[in-house]
Chains A and B, each alone.
Chain A
Amino acid sequence: MNLFEQIEPLLLRVQKPARYIGGEPGSIMKDKSQVKARFAFCFPDRYDVGMSHLGMKVLYSVINKRQEYWCERVFAPDTDFEALMREHHLPLYALESLEPIRDFDFIGFTLQYELCYTNILNMLDLAGVPIYQRDRGENIAPIVCAGGSCACNPEPIADFCDLFFLGEGEEVDLEVMDLYVKMRDAGATRSEFLKAAAQIQGVYVPSLYDVTYNEDGTVQVVTPRDGAPARVRKRIIENFDACPAPEEFVVPFSEIVHDRAVTEVLRGCLRGCRFCQAGFLYRPFREKKPETICEQSKKLIDNTGYEELSLCSLSTSDHSQIEEMMDGLLTFTDNEHINLSLPSLRVDNFSTGLMNRLRRVRSSGLTFAPEAGTQRMRDVINKNVTEEELMRTCKIAFNAGQTSVKLYFMMGLPTETDDDIRGIIELAQRVVDMFYEMERRPKGKPVQISCSIATFVPKPFTPFEFHPQDTREMIAHKQKILEEAVAGHKRIRASWHFPDASILEAVLAKGDRRLCDVLYGAWKRGCIFDAWSEHFRYDLWLESFAEHGLNVEFYANRPRPYDEVFPWDHLDYYVDKAFLIRENEKAKQAQTTQHCRLNCAGCGVTKVTGHPCFDYKALKEEAKSS
């Protein structure tokens, strides 16, 4: 049932209607009578955010490459369109076919951040699909699934999903679809299918696990049923260089947050910054060869027509052959009027050679993330960046004519003192001083250092998962110190946010299955788009917590002992808890850990992959010869 006739009369009554009608170049149309399974790939945020997400483009392309499967896109409608959809009983539909997603085989959500969880409930409701998994009955379709980084602790949304994909989806998504088609055609029920799917590595079926709690509210034990594995291990793509990248993107009509071609250059991160969840979740470190990157980028530019190419990774300057890669890319981007942008650069390996290449790239200012203001604090979080390195990098940037630098910091880190907070502004001031000491500094615009200071959120699968988050009062105190410290510094701008959203983020990140009902209660009270400050209603969240006899402090502000059973302990992301404990102990002593290319820290990854992540012998010889 194509909904075009019902959608059309509503479109001119809403902002940016192009978001709701599809038909963009690169969108894949198929004949539904010719496909065996349909997948609604849902991004639980607005079109302009979701369309910027590379993971969606990757999986859209992987599924659609299979002739017999059709993957379509779905986004959360903005509030104006949602109101009209509800008023006119228009169900949530996919942008390619314009058909209701409740008739699809799979409804899959990508979990990029915790504050989009209420949108998932809202989208299921708009689709007309029962929100709780237990209410979906024994009809096999639709299977509600989810994957992405937050799937590492999916317990707060476990009651709403049939299954979760852990780790990288390129292979496991298709394996699950294949199994589904086979079992559906044989007449299987939903629970029969879920039991079978739980046997695939990387698939977590929460309804097959019983959770019991201790009197103090912590998890007692998680018990698998019906042959489900006691520990569910994530999936990775072993040979990342050979992993097919999307050759086409859906190119939107309306402007989106990241409107450009994107090539993934490496996966995982070798740094081991102790606060960074992505740095542990996506291990091991794997890179693509410069030739592969250039070939894939060229193809993508040709097929999308984009005028800008961006490289994507957790730390692009850690690519072992970044200069070769840049030279290869610049040869065609220069010729074809393509702008090249390089986010995620580090200050400790940012060379003049790289800057010279970057100079040919149109730039709107440089961003670096020292994360903390004092060396002690940076050692605690294992950022492994020194002040000299930051100064050197800023100097390279100033020498190249830049006058504005953006610096990212966090507050509320473990062991943090008031001096560490003041250190943020002091560090920024030393960058300003260095600028004015330069004899040949850029003339014209005055120097501007923007400091953006986020509230730290401890996350699962990091060495800081044991740490309490700072309370609201502690954060308020630190923000006051910042305010006093920055007063009178004309060339420094500092910005921060109210901590409530970060507190909720910590709660949902480290939460257990009891939060499902709290989440449902918050949504029922009207919470959606919690990540958008104009929609965020912390008071309604607190009401829902109170209704269910739970409180945020238990989840966010409680130190967690090493022997506690965490809600996510039955999920295996290759990284040992013993390693996380070791790292946490080193953090307390402000001891750093070398990055993976220098020395293997024994995180546990090699036990699964069966081989070291780097050829240390070759690296040593290479270091000797140079």
Chain B
Amino acid sequence: MVPVRATFEKRRRAKYISHLDLMRCMQRAFRRAGVPIWFTEGFNPHAYLMFPLALSLGYESGCECMDFRIDGDMSMQEAMERLNRVLPPDLQLKSVAAPVRKHTDIAFADYAVCLDCADESVKADALRAAWDTFIAQPEIIVEKKTKRGTAEVDVKAQAQIMMTQTLEDGLWLKLRMPAGTSVNVNPGLLTDAFLAWLPEHAPDVRTGMMHAERLAILCEDGTPFR
């Protein structure tokens, strides 16, 4: 039995596959691909598949992670090739390797968030200025859904702004957020707070589509989770 950690990308149409749907989709892909995946034992055997970190609906990513075990005579490389033949073009494996770190080692994730101006009447500089004012607040309190109802968190204390750029028609941010099995903060918390803040503080700055992409899953020491 060979444990495998695969990285895969989720883009375009595949962005809208929810986490639960993704698990089902992958299980079926293994059967279609004829990859001998290990089944759990017990009364109700099912294909063993682990996704250490869920990705929010609508986010793109080139660095998603999935663990499985090959139970038979097949190389990891071949398993990847077979899976890619039966998976949609927007959902493809990028690499396979033996797992190095434990799932609990995941500590952060990096995201790129791109916020468009609503239309040409909104200037990117104005959007940038609004953002700078917003983010300069000493704290940004938002409501976060937890397993036991909602809790108030200071999302500013959680987020590290790695980079801010003004684009021709929008704003581009690189954010590092806490991630992992116990704490997980979605960058959407910060951008949603910004969008909710805008009408009162900068009513002329109207925004359009938001694009978000996960860039990396990282361990405590800042090295990529492998």
Contacts and interface: CB of A to CB of B under 8 A. Distances in A.
A253 B20 CA distance: 9
A623 interface: no
Interface in B135-158: none
B206 to A, nearest CB: 13
B101 interface: no
A4 B11 CA distance: 13
B13 A22 contact: yes
Contacts of A11: 16, 58
A303 B86 CA distance: 9
B116 to A, nearest CB: 9
B58 A253 contact: no
B28 A251 contact: yes
A201 to B, nearest CB: 39
Contact of A302 (B12, B21, B32, B47): B32
A307 B18 contact: no
Contacts of A303: 32
A327 B90 CA distance: 40
Nearest to B58: A12
B27 A305 contact: yes
Given A25-B29, A302-B32, A254 B86 contact: no
B97 interface: no
Nearest to A22: B13
A547 interface: no
B88 interface: yes
A37 interface: no
A253 B25 CA distance: 6
B208 A304 contact: no
Contact of A304 (B32, B39, B47, B88): B32
A21 B30 contact: no
A25 B39 contact: no
B172 to A, nearest CB: 18
B28 A25 contact: yes
Nearest to B33: A305
Interface of A is mostly: loop
Nearest to A8: B209
Nearest to B28: A305
A23 B87 CA distance: 10
Contacts of B33: 305
A304 B28 contact: yes
A559 interface: no
A24 B18 contact: no
B17 A253 contact: yes
A9 interface: yes
Nearest to B59: A12
Nearest to A10: B209
B174 to A, nearest CB: 21
Contact of B13 (A12, A23, A336): A23
B31 interface: yes
Contacts of A143: none
A305 B29 contact: yes
Contacts of B14: 23
A337 interface: yes
B42 interface: no
A255 B22 CA distance: 11
A51 to B, nearest CB: 13
A254 B27 contact: no
A22 B90 CA distance: 11
Contact of A25 (B16, B25, B209): B25
Contacts of A4: 12
B50 interface: no
Contacts of A18: 16-18, 21
B129 interface: no
Nearest to B44: A362
B57 interface: yes
Contacts of A81: none
Interface string B1-25: 0000000000011101110011011
B45 interface: yes
Contact of A301 (B21, B24, B31): B31
B13 A17 contact: no
Contact of A17 (B25, B34, B57): B57
B29 A254 contact: no
A61 B86 CA distance: 18
Interface string B200-226: 000000001100000000000000000
Interface in A234-264: 251, 253-255
B208 A9 contact: yes
A132 interface: no
Given A304-B32, A305-B29, 10 more contacts: A16-B18, A25-B25, A251-B25, A253-B25, A302-B31, A302-B32, A302-B34, A307-B27, A337-B39, A337-B45
7 contacts: A8-B209, A12-B58, A17-B58, A25-B86, A305-B29, A307-B31, A337-B47
Interface of A: 4, 8-9, 11-12, 16-18, 20-25, 251, 253-255, 301-307, 336-337
